[in-house]
Amino acid sequence: MKRDNEMSLKTKAQIQLNKVISDRANRLSPSGIRKFFDLLQKQKDIISLGVGEPDYSTPWHISEAAVKSLERGYTMYTSNSGILELRELTAKYLKEKYGIDYDPNGEILMTVGVSEALDLAMRAILNPGDEVIMPDPHYVAYDSCVTLAEGKPVLVPTYEKNSFEVEAKDIEVRVTSKTKAILIGYPANPTGAVMPRQKLLDIAAVAQRHNLIVISDEIYARLTYGTEHTCFASLPGIRENTILLGGFSKAYAMTGWRIGYAVAPREVIAAMTKIHQYTIMSAPTPAQVAAIEALKTGEPDVVEMVEDYDRRRKVIVKGLNDIGLPCFEPKGAFYAFPSITPTDMNSEEFSEKLLMEEKVAVVPGSAFGQCGEGYVRCCYATSLADIEEALNRMGRFVKKYRK
């Protein structure tokens, strides 16, 4: 009898589970990157130019600060906004670097990476059906965050011939009565593009003309080569329209710590903090302690890593061009985005075959939007020896499949 009951309970549970998933979750397509990395898990001896994260460990003095705080028993929640000292240091950093003034009490929120900050920003500003204009290709989370907040992503194609820079006029023709925001992320993932100041000024003018918020994801701000990053919020008169997102993952090799921040006018940060306090409470305490150390003493580490990425960037860009995959010169982040049109394959086929036949992992450009088709993303935050070997293997592969 007991067994019969258990059986019928089990059957019921299975039937219920089919109905449990929300339409919202069902509407999301799995990240094109993840889908591809599931394949990768099954392979051995791969050279990965896939995942977008530094091959460096977090500089030890940064990790050590967190370890010591744990030893001292500093393991409790922090203020919802984050440790005051960290907010003050972030404000100081933004002032010194870009000349912008934000009040650590009310205009800065420490988050679980830029990932959480993006989600909060969308949920704080969007009503159902509101439109957010963003470039194509773009970082995989951008359209999903908008969709999850019941907004509508509106894509602006960008092209290699324009260095993958999004044009203000192409944004402006897409503005409707439903447009709430423009979402940009430069230096860009996946292209490595950096926006010239004048083009950002043109976008700022569009935002002001149409009363739009600009969400500027500047997680790669420190990773530029031979050019200066312009912080969107520092442009004249645009502060009130801007939600600036930044973080520690890339510049300080701290991806696993999960720490970032949002900076915006008081009203916006208050709305984001309300959502954050109910869903997250506070960013991880040890990660906040590590971030304090990073801002206090991590500058030489950033400079050293950026110099190293630049060396690798030069090798990979030249190498890709030499093997017959034309590659636009990326001026930021740590991605090369070569065209694969000399072969007959689309980006997914190319990436899958390259992985199977030559054991090199790259990401299909199509994972980042339609305009990413015809390209693959190669992350060069890996050793020079691996980059050189990957180029050898890719060279062999391209020779075989050249049309």
Ligand X SMILES: Cc1ncc(COP(=O)(O)O)c(C=O)c1O
Query: Using CB under 6 A as the criterion, which residues of the chain lie in contact with ligand X when the complex forms?
Result: 52, 113-115, 139, 185, 189, 217, 219, 247, 249, 255, 260
Minimum CB separation of residue 139 from ligand X in Å reads: 4
Nearer to ligand X, 119 or 172 (CB): 119
Residue whose pair of structure tokens reads 């192409």 in the numeric block: 170
Minimum CB separation of residue 7 from ligand X in Å reads: 44
In sequence order, the 6+-apart residues with CB closer than 8 A to the CB of 229 are 186, 187, 194, 218, 221, 222, 332
Nearer to ligand X, 104 or 113 (CB): 113
CA distance 239 to 256: 30
Nearer to ligand X, 119 or 301 (CB): 119
Minimum CB separation of residue 61 from ligand X in Å reads: 21
DSSP H or E run through 131: strand 131-136
**Cβ-proximal residue to ligand X, closest one:** 113
Residues in the chain: 403
DSSP H or E run through 270: helix 266-279
CA-to-CA separations, 33 to 9, 52, 59, 261, 373, in angstroms, rounded: 38, 10, 27, 24, 14
Minimum CB separation of residue 114 from ligand X in Å reads: 4
Nearer to ligand X, 172 or 293 (CB): 293
Find out whether 244 and 268 touch, Cβ atoms under 8 Å: no
DSSP H or E run through 380: none
Cα angle for residues 279, 294, 85 (degrees, 5° grid): 60
Minimum CB separation of residue 339 from ligand X in Å reads: 21
Minimum CB separation of residue 20 from ligand X in Å reads: 28
Nearer to ligand X, 262 or 360 (CB): 262
Nearer to ligand X, 319 or 332 (CB): 332
CB atoms within 10 A of CB 326: 13
The two tokens of residue 352 are 């899958």
